[in-house]
């Protein structure tokens, strides 16, 4: 008899960051995540993670709403169902619950982790097999202080931890942001690629001025300079400048990816399992991008080790990530809730080994950082 899902528990976990992380919409000093523990009738447990940025600052799901909606609406749809038919379980969730992509991603991750453990296979093998076992990882310089960011970048280069850097801008006047970025690029020179993420902070006219100056400064990639729904404006910017545009919030799923490409967008797509409702959905988007000749970038919502490992298993199945990845979330945290941290070295990270995600919880750390309420 095949295993069925018996329980799904969720925990809110708060982990402090190593320094304030400044974005256009908020500044983070702590990352809150929802940890999912899914258990099947055969005793197998699957782990998942749902994480966003700054409560409701980034999007419509908060850590608290993710937990509540899983507990109240989504978990009851799965409990008692056969654990092995992931396609049927995804369809059931999507048929009965709209949106809630981060919550669905956390559950899908737990289902895949359990399936991998049951079969003795890594999640990447369940998805068709890993083409690469070491993935490039950039670092975000987001202290807001120019000299501190320069010093941090050189330290990462010297440690052979990161050789590509992204800067979060958009919270300050354009001239101030451009001067900050240009100074860092000038200091690093050809030793590193420098990109920026505007996090939707500019209107199109402001973006024209800002991107022209950033292009002149030698910046390699501009991420989501204008609001997500302004597809036509993003296409105009992509066609106007040599520096490529990276669509992030503008592409949630495969349909978004198809519509943006069909309308004439050229550039790259930021893949995020949280945007696309899980690993299957994000790979559907990746395949649309590949068919359209659009570059890929492995994005993050600053997940901890569980969510980061899930993303890595998905990225590993792709032939290449033309723009690398930003799977540095665990490095931004002062501590971890897993027994064996991810292996960051040589400007990247190793794909975790072992069945499922290859991740084991540290129960003492989990208890210590879990929210008590």
Q: How many domains does the chain have?
A: 2
pLDDT digits (tens, 9 = 90+) for 137-155: 999 998 889 999 999 999 9
Residue 204 covered by a domain? yes
Do 175 and 316 have their domain in common?
yes
The stretch 211-217 carries a mean pLDDT of: 98
The stretch 319-337 carries a mean pLDDT of: 95
At residue 25, does pLDDT exceed 70? no
The neighbouring-strand residues paired with 12 are: 34
Do 42 and 168 have their domain in common?
no
pTM: 0.95
Contact yes or no for 305/336 (Cβ under 8 A): yes
Do 175 and 248 have their domain in common?
yes
Do 110 and 19 have their domain in common?
yes
> For position 77, what pLDDT does the model report?
98
At residue 26, does pLDDT exceed 80? no
pLDDT band at 126 (very low <50, low <70, confident <90, very high): very high
Give the CATH number, domain containing residue 88. Answer: 3.30.390.10
Averaged pLDDT score across all residues of the chain: 95
Please give the share of the chain, as a percent, with pLDDT higher than 90.
92
Phi-psi domain of 306 (left: phi exceeds 0; alpha: psi -120 through 50; beta: other): alpha
Residue 357 covered by a domain? no
Task: Give the helix/strand (H/E) hosting 56.
Answer: none
SS3 content of the chain, % helix, strand, coil (to 5): 40, 20, 35
Sorted by sequence, the CB contacts under 8 Å of residue 334 that are 6+ apart come out as: 15, 16, 17, 18
∠ CA(166), CA(16), CA(151), 5° rounding?
40
Do 38 and 170 have their domain in common?
no
pLDDT digits (tens, 9 = 90+) for 82-123: 999 999 999 999 999 999 999 999 999 999 999 999 999 999
At residue 271, does pLDDT exceed 80? yes
More confident site: 320 or 74: 74
Do 167 and 224 have their domain in common?
yes
Lowest mean pLDDT among 3-12, 36-45, 55-64, 324-333: 55-64
pLDDT band at 348 (very low <50, low <70, confident <90, very high): very high
Residue 193 covered by a domain? yes
Sorted by sequence, the CB contacts under 8 Å of residue 329 that are 6+ apart come out as: 31, 51, 300, 301, 302, 303, 304, 305, 307, 308
The stretch 22-30 carries a mean pLDDT of: 74
Which domain, by its residues, includes 55? 5-120+362-369
Residue 33 covered by a domain? yes
Do 104 and 79 have their domain in common?
yes
More confident site: 26 or 353: 353
> For position 42, what pLDDT does the model report?
96
> For position 194, what pLDDT does the model report?
98
> For position 1, what pLDDT does the model report?
64
Task: Give the helix/strand (H/E) hosting 371.
Answer: none
Residue 356 covered by a domain? no
pLDDT band at 7 (very low <50, low <70, confident <90, very high): very high
Residue 156 covered by a domain? yes
* d(C-alpha 50, C-alpha 107), whole Å: 8
* d(C-alpha 88, C-alpha 70), whole Å: 18
* d(C-alpha 349, C-alpha 14), whole Å: 24
pLDDT digits (tens, 9 = 90+) for 238-264: 999 999 999 999 999 999 999 999 999
* d(C-alpha 29, C-alpha 38), whole Å: 29
Residues assigned a catalytic role = 168, 326
Give the CATH number, domain containing residue 195. Answer: 3.20.20.120
The stretch 35-47 carries a mean pLDDT of: 98
Residue 215 vs residues 179, 239, 268, 342: alpha-carbon distances, Å: 12, 14, 16, 35
Residue 150 vs residues 21, 160, 166, 183, 218: alpha-carbon distances, Å: 15, 15, 12, 9, 16
Do 82 and 190 have their domain in common?
no
pLDDT band at 2 (very low <50, low <70, confident <90, very high): confident
> For position 24, what pLDDT does the model report?
63
pLDDT band at 173 (very low <50, low <70, confident <90, very high): very high
Residue 355 covered by a domain? no
Do 266 and 321 have their domain in common?
yes
> For position 53, what pLDDT does the model report?
87
More confident site: 213 or 21: 213
> Phi and psi of 142, rounded to 5°?
-140, 35
Do 177 and 78 have their domain in common?
no
At residue 55, does pLDDT exceed 90? no
Do 103 and 140 have their domain in common?
no
Do 136 and 102 have their domain in common?
no
């Amino acid at each position: 008899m095949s295993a069925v899902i018996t329980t799904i528990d969720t925990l809110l976990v708060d982990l402090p960051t190593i320094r304030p992380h400044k974005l256009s919409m908020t500044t983070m000093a702590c990352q809150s995540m929802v940890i999912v523990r899914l258990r099947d009738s055969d005793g197998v447990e699957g782990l998942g993670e749902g994480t966003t940025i700054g409560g409701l600052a980034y999007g419509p799901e908060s850590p608290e709403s993710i937990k509540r909606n899983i507990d109240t609406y989504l978990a009851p749809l799965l409990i008692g169902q056969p654990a092995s038919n992931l396609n049927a379980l995804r369809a059931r969730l999507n048929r009965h619950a709209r949106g809630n992509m981060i919550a669905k991603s956390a559950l899908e991750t737990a289902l895949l982790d359990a399936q991998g453990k049951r079969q003795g296979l890594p999640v990447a093998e369940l998805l068709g097999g890993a083409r690469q076992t070491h993935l490039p990882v950039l670092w975000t310089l987001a202290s807001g202080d120019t000299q501190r960011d320069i010093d941090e970048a050189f330290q990462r280069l010297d440690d052979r931890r990161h050789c590509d850097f992204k800067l979060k801008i958009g919270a300050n006047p354009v001239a101030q942001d451009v001067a900050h970025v240009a100074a860092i690029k000038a200091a690093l020179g050809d030793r590193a690629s420098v990109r920026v993420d505007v996090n939707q902070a500019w209107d199109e006219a402001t973006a024209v001025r800002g991107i022209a100056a950033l292009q002149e400064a030698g910046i390699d990639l501009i991420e989501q300079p204008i609001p997500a729904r302004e597809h036509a404006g993003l296409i105009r910017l992509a066609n106007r400048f040599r520096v490529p545009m990276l669509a992030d919030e503008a592409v949630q799923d495969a349909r978004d990816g198809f519509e943006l490409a069909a309308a004439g967008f050229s550039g790259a797509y930021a893949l995020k399992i949280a945007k696309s409702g899980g690993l299957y959905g994000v790979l559907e988007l990746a395949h649309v991008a590949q068919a359209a000749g659009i570059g890929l970038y492995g994005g993050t919502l600053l997940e901890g080790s569980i969510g980061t490992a899930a993303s890595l298993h998905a990225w590993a199945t792709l032939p290449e990530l033309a723009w690398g990845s930003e799977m540095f979330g665990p490095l931004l945290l002062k501590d971890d809730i897993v027994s064996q941290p991810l292996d960051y070295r040589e400007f990247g990270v190793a794909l975790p080994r072992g069945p499922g995600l290859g991740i084991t919880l540290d129960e003492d750390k989990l208890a210590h950082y879990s929210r008590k309420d």
